Chains A and B, each alone.
Chain A
Amino acid sequence: MEQHQHEHHHHLPHLEIGPSEPTHTPLRIVSPKTYLIIGVILLCLTAATTAISYVELGVFNAVVAIAIAVLKASLVVLFFMHIKYSSKLMKLTVCSGLFTFLVLITLTMSDYVSRAWGRW
């Protein structure tokens, strides 16, 4: 028993890696006030996008609706999902994912737009 206990008292030397290391980002607690403000802005944008859809803007109805949706999604990602307060690794991960998605959408759409070019 005695022997067994002693074996476990070895301590591994701790590697001295400070909080500046990219994998050691300290937890940043976002205040409830920030969450509340973002929540209220999101609700206002929802009211705005519904109200604007009743106004005749031609092609800009879709443009404005998508722009407001992108703005709302950005607020959710930055504040509710903490990306504004996250490490560079996390920011880069999100950006590279969105970039890849945009490449796929753009290439697919440009194919559909240009397939019958000039034969409209």
Chain B
Amino acid sequence: MDSHTIAAQTAETAQLEHEHPSFLHHHFENLAQQREASTFGMWLFLLTEIMFFGGMFCAYLIFRNWYYSAFVAGSHTLHIWAGTLNTTVLIISSFTMAMAVHAAEVRHRVPLLRWMMVTILLGVGFLCIKGYEWHDEWVNHHVPGLNFSIEEFTHVNPAYPGDKPLAPDMAERTQIYYSLYFLMTGMHALHMIIGVSILTILLIKARGGAFTNGHIAPVENFGLYWHFVDIVWIFLFPLLYLISRHQ
């Protein structure tokens, strides 16, 4: 028996004794159980994320209540078109990610790669629009601690001629609005950057044939993460951009 034959036999035996796919871990009875356990774990992680973002939403609501006119004036300086466009981009990216999970479920490699690539592009598109808005806020001296001036708030905003100019002490409070704005959109953007990075790694693995052999858990769990980040934006958008338009 030469070494090649032995190697071939060992490989055959290995397949016989493993009557389950290589990605099924031994402490699970079957794939359905493993899948349920991994989805459960992912949801527990997402619940901690809800608490994390929830704390910031809570702080936003309390400070908005305290320094109402400052928050209204701050909100009036945002571009609603940019927020709406970004919401649209993120919702479409959630749809394309759902389609990527579907492609993995039905084991179609090329559609999986395409949907993942479109999702990455939409994610980057979101970050570009967000970057444009941040740049605009920098130019207009709306960045607390780094580049801030109350100038704009002690005068009438031309886009909102009905607004009364703020008293200097209240105008200073717009910094709290912008601090929370940068904290919340920044944390959201950080999640987007992490998401785009992980999705790029998954895309490279999927090119080699991963995730279309029945092992869909990484793509599925990443999908949950991506949709969660979408949901955070679904709440950030009305709170930061919309609800103060009329006061």
Contacts and interface: CB of A to CB of B under 8 A. Distances in A.
Interface of A: 1, 5, 8-9, 14-15, 17, 19, 23-27, 29-32, 35-36, 38-39, 42-43, 46-47, 49-50, 53-54, 56-58, 61-62, 65-66, 68-69, 72-73, 76-77, 79-81, 86-87, 89-90, 93-94, 97-98, 100-101, 104-105, 108-109, 112
B185 interface: no
A108 B58 contact: yes
16 contacts: A9-B17, A24-B29, A35-B102, A39-B91, A43-B92, A46-B84, A50-B242, A56-B246, A65-B242, A65-B243, A66-B235, A73-B235, A80-B223, A90-B39, A90-B40, A104-B54
A69 B94 contact: no
B62 interface: yes
A15 B29 contact: yes
B105 A29 contact: yes
B242 A46 contact: no
A21 B149 CA distance: 62
Given A39-B92, A43-B88, 14 more contacts: A5-B13, A24-B32, A25-B36, A29-B106, A30-B102, A36-B95, A39-B94, A46-B88, A53-B242, A61-B245, A73-B235, A90-B40, A90-B43, A109-B61
Given A32-B102, A81-B224, A93-B47, A65 B91 contact: no
Contacts, number: 151
B30 interface: yes
A62 B51 CA distance: 22
A89 B40 contact: yes
Contacts of B80: 50, 53
Contact of A17 (B29, B61, B97, B106): B29
A53 B245 contact: yes
A100 B55 CA distance: 13
Q: Would you call the interface of chain B mostly helix, strand, loop, or mixed?
A: helix
Interface of B: 6, 9, 13, 16-17, 29-30, 32-33, 35-37, 39-40, 43-44, 46-47, 50-51, 54, 57-58, 61-62, 65, 80, 84, 87-88, 91-92, 94-95, 97-99, 102, 105-106, 223-224, 227-228, 230-231, 234-235, 237-239, 241-243, 245-246
A69 B238 contact: yes
